Structures are given as structure tokens and as C-alpha cells.
Amino acid sequence: MSNQEIRERETVVIIGSGPAAWTAAIYAARAQMKPFVFEGAGSRTMIPGGQLMFTTEVENYPGFRAGVMGPDLMVEMREQALSFGTRSIWEDIVDIDPGQYPFRLRSNTDTEVLADSVILATGANAKWLGLENEERLAQSGGGVSACAVCDGALPHFRGDTLAVIGGGDSAMEDALYLTKFAEQVIVIHRRDKFRASRIMSERALAHDKIRVEWNKLVTEVIGNETITALRLQDTVSGEVSELEVRGMFVAIGHTPNTGFLNGVIELKENGYVQTPTAWRTETSVPGIFAAGDVMDDYFRQAVTAAGTGCMAALEAERWLAHGGAKGHEEP
């Protein structure tokens, strides 16, 4: 689609291309809102489609009793949205002017688009250690993951030794979850004290399948087809060691993709979008809604993202139908 065509005034612009974005698009398209989706320009670490593009088998998305590959699920969601008339472009929105109505949005190619309503669904990225082999084995299903709840139950991880990297609540939760499948779970933490809440730390430390490698940094992920070991470095003594594992779960936090929203809408202290009313997706700016991981620092599941995508589209439709836009002054 050429830039010329999208200088139109759109009823709803959706930013993102994960489950939240495509579900919002499906609902908006079926409601005759002709959604326009900015799927993202893609980069070395993020491709349109979101985090599921980095996942292999998804076994907890309802409707697929034999499981579904993450990228296949995203293709299906996208095609479903397009089949109802959704239009899309592979560009990022880099700026939104909330002071003007209709909202004025600018993309990374300097394309401008006007929007009566906006749905933010840019997601969050799991943080990675940034090691060679890590991303490759995560993408190939080689035993490296940033989501224990998504991947932990896969056959590959059963009955063996798994590593969890991190010392926060996510790492504790992941380690405890993985004890259901693993023979042993080794938490690798770079300090001698967990950041996690006391209750979560104690629960993990008390579990007979969990042990901790304190003061250790992972310096290398070893393995060709699948992970076989980790190279560790002691942060105190500098000593280097090798640890045999069949899986590595990175749990060192997430970063919401909200950099372009600074000063546009209210963000929480941790950078996620603030949606002030429970069970609503409207942000601090009426007419701008948020769905999926960009506003959810708690559940972060594909199915919850899809659910909030549906909510955002319904809210945008109702907001427009009930004259919400009248509260904004048009130039």
C-alpha cells in the first residue's frame, strides 16, 4: 500500500501485530470500522507478529487440541483479520499527537495518518541475555525459551535438568512451574540474594527439585541442534564452570514497547500503559485504547492478549457511537 493512500482519516488505527492487534482488527472489521493496522517495520530482534513468532509449539491456546505453531497461529489471525477487510502496512508508528483530534500519527517513513480512535497493541519483549546461540536455539525450538508457562510442558523438557535464569518473581514462578516436568531445576542468579518477594523465594528454596547457583553469570549457551550445557562465570571469584542442562528458561523481565508513548498517555512506573478503569482498555486519553502485553504486566498470555484486543475494539466502537469524539476539539 502506498503512503498516498493512508493519508486518509481512519476510523480506527491499530498499532501492533500480535494476538491483541489482530483480534481487535477482526472485531473492528466486522463492525464496519475498516481498521488500519500498523504491523511494525521489523528489526533484528522483533518481527511483525510479536512474541509468538519466536515460539514453537503453542499448547495452551484454546481450539487447537493438537497444539499449533506460534508463527502459524499468527498467520491465521492475520489472514482472518484481512479477510474481513482490514488493511495493513509494515511500518512503525513513532509519534502520536494526542492534542489534536482526529489524532495525528506519524510512521517511521514519515507517513502521517489521522485517526478517530487508536488501539495500542505493541506488546512487550522478553529480555534476553544477548548471547550467541540463545536466540537461534529459542527460534528453532532447541530448548531455549523466555516463557516457561508457554513451553515448559513440551516433551523436550520432561524428566531432565532445566536452568532458569534470573532472581525475580518470574524466575521463582518459572522454576516452581517447571518442577512439574523436570527432574531438577537450577536457578542461576547473578547475585547472592533474590530480588523476588520473600514468599516466592522461600517457596522456591524449599522445593526439593530446585537448587540455586548463586553469583553466576551465563556467558555461553552450548549446543548445536539443542542446548546441552551452559558456561557460567562466578561473579565473585571469576571461576568458569560448565553446567549440563536440557533447557534454559530466561526470566529476567520484560520491556513494554511504549517508548513512542512517552508524554502521549499515562504510563505506569514500570513503563506499561495505564488503563485507569478495571475491565476497560481506555487509556488516560479518551479515544486511545490499549490491549495485550503493552498494558498487561501480569498475565502476558496470547489468549489474554486476544481477549483484551476484543475489548479494545468493542470499546472503541462504543466510544465513537456514543459521541466520545465530541469531547475532543477538532482543528
- In the residue annotation, 150 being an active-site residue is answered as yes
Cβ atoms < 10 Å from Cβ of 199: 10
Residue 166 sits in the site that holds ligand NAP (CB under 6 A): yes
Q: Which of 78/189 has CB closer to ligand NAP? A: 189
Catalytic residue among 147, 174, 293, 296: 147
User: How many angstroms separate the CA atoms of 306 and 299, rounded?
Assistant: 12
Residue found under cell 532447541 = 142
Select the span of 64-72, 101-109, 161-169, 206-214 touching ligand NAP (CB under 6 A).
Answer: 161-169
End-to-end CA distance of the chain: 28
Interface with ligand NAP: number of residues (CB under 6 A): 14
How large is the C-alpha radius of gyration of the chain?
A: 21
User: How many angstroms separate the CA atoms of 132 and 321, rounded?
Assistant: 51
| Touching ligand NAP, residues 183-242 (CB under 6 A) | 190-191, 195
- In the residue annotation, 151 being an active-site residue is answered as yes
Closest CA to 183 of 244, 135, 233, 225: 244
Q: Which of 191/318 has CB closer to ligand NAP? A: 191
Residue in 129, 245, 264, 306 binding ligand NAP, rule: CB under 6 A: 129
Catalytic residue among 92, 116, 150, 296: 150
Residue 315 sits in the site that holds ligand NAP (CB under 6 A): no
CB 14, CB 23: distance < 8 Å: no
Residue 169 sits in the site that holds ligand NAP (CB under 6 A): yes
| SS3 of residue 119 by DSSP | strand
Q: What length is written for the chain? A: 331
Q: Which of 71/253 has CB closer to ligand NAP? A: 253
What is the DSSP code (8-state) at residue 274? P
Could you give phi then psi for residue 205, rounded to 5 degrees?
Answer: -65, -25
Select the span of 39-47, 167-175, 205-213, 317-325 touching ligand NAP (CB under 6 A).
Answer: 167-175
| Touching ligand NAP, residues 239-298 (CB under 6 A) | 252-253
Residue 102 sits in the site that holds ligand NAP (CB under 6 A): no
User: How many angstroms separate the CA atoms of 119 and 281, rounded?
Assistant: 9
Any idea which residues carry the catalytic annotation?
147, 150-151
Chain residues binding ligand NAP by CB under 6 A are 129, 165-171, 173, 190-191, 195, 252-253
